[in-house]
Amino acid sequence: MHSMNPSTVTVIVPTYEEFDSLPSLIDAIERVRDESLPKLNVIVVDDNSQDGTEELIGSLQKEWVRLLVRTQDRGLSPAVIAGLQSASGEFCVVMDADGSHPASAITAMIQALQDGADFAVGSRYINGGTTEDGWGFLRWLNSKIATLMARPFTRVLDPMSGFLALRKTTFLEASELNPVGYKIGLELIVKCQCKNVSEVPIHFSTRLLGESKLTLSVQWQYLQHVIRLLRYTRPTLVSFCSFAMVGLSGAVLYLLLLVATTAMITSVPLAIALAVWLAMTWNFIWDRKYAFWNSRQQPIYTQYIGFVLICSVGVLANFFITLALSKSEAIPLAGLIGVSIGSAVGIIFNFLMTRLIVFRK
Ligand code: GDD
Ligand code: MN
């Protein structure tokens, strides 16, 4: 026998073509409502499936089940955000419609929040949690890799879970939500700065009806999501790594260009200068896109001139070393030594200067 919990709870169920699964899901939620959470309501957020979902919800005649139909920007994460925005409860729960998530765990998830957690997930990987057999090796591997990629952001064992609970006020504190793809739980944990995440063990069942919407493009979106989260949580590190990689590509390009320009132009200083200038411009274009992504508001000319000025130390070192060595050594070797020393001289100096002056934050 459960004791009644008077909290208001809104359960958000994102759906796309889940007509077949909805009835048993609503039944399962209703049991939880009757047994322990009388002030529970449901918002089904449907992305205009046109499969009878609207009629179905209407015919249920349950005043605590509401339908929200979205017609734009189809996607799981934006649907969840829309549901969270219109949720009226003090507590919000998000769960799949296909029966993978046991409604019976809702009570424990709300309890965890009341006991001090600022986020709760239905977890397959915490002690007591299980996953129904029949997940092919590929899906298992996929899930493992995805989970590992979330490691820099949270220690949660099942950060990929789409079964989650949080206070409405926590959601409202989220900064810069950028819902893309499926991993809305991870996005919320990071952007709401949830430190105390409680994992409630669940049995994750395989869906019985309908089909999964997890496609290859959803996985590609996850990769983009991880990069965005990295930029959000570790901007300087991402900036520096991108800068170093662009620098490396510029050095390789420089050597190739040098071989070409010295073969085509008789004046060696001019040939070197041309290669240097082209490689530097290449670096500027990619640094602007990847290393200093968040400072594109200034006019590109101003940024370019600043970039050239600041790179001048390393660039001039490279130019003169390459030129001096070209008299005794083969061009590729001279170029390699020149660009290596030039880069070493320039890299820390350049990075700090471009950061401080050109791409002013
Ligand atoms: N509104 C809306 N719009 N809902 C969607 C959309 C969409 O574009 N795409 C999927 N959904 C709904 C589905 O109808 C279902 O209720 C829920 O989101 C999960 O979709 P599934 O297609 O069943 O996803 P899954 O089983 O592959 O993935 C689930 O498990 C993963 C962990 O293995 C989800 O819970 C993921 O979030 C979770 O990471
Ligand atoms: Mn599913």
- Fold (topology level) of 9-233: Spore Coat Polysaccharide Biosynthesis Protein SpsA; Chain A (3.90.550)
Q: Where are the domains of the chain?
A: 9-233, 235-358
Q: What's the pTM value of the predicted model, to 2 decimals?
A: 0.82
Check residue 11 and give its pLDDT: 98
Give 307-346 pLDDT, tens digit per residue. Answer: 898 888 899 999 999 999 999 999 999 999 999 999 888 8
Q: 184: CA distance to ligand 2 center in Å?
A: 15
**What is the tally of helices (H) and strands (E) in the chain?**
12, 9
CB 75 within 8 A of CB 47: yes
User: Looking at ligand 1, which atom is closest to the CA of residue 21?
Assistant: 16
CA-closest residue to ligand 1 atom 36 = 162
Backbone angles phi, psi at 287, to 5 degrees: -65, -40
Ligand 1 pocket check for 43: Cβ under 6 Å: no
Q: Whose CA is nearest to atom 8 of ligand 1?
A: 75
Closest ligand 1 atom to residue 80 Cα is 1
The pLDDT value given to residue 208: 81
- Ligand 2 centroid to Cα of residue 138, in Å, is 16
**Centre of ligand 2 from the C-alpha of residue 174, in Å:** 26
Token representation of residue 236: 């300087």
pLDDT of residue 212: 79
14 C-beta closer than 6 A to ligand 1: yes
Ranges of residues in the chain with a pLDDT under 70 are: 1-2, 296, 350, 360-361
Taking only the tens place, the pLDDT of each residue in 149-175 is: 999 999 999 999 999 999 999 999 988
Helix, strand, coil abundance in the chain, percent, nearest 5: 55, 10, 35
Dist CA 203 CA 342 (whole Å): 58
**What pLDDT does 2 receive?**
60
Ligand nearest to the CA of 160: 1
Ligand 1 atom having least distance to the Cα of 185 = 37
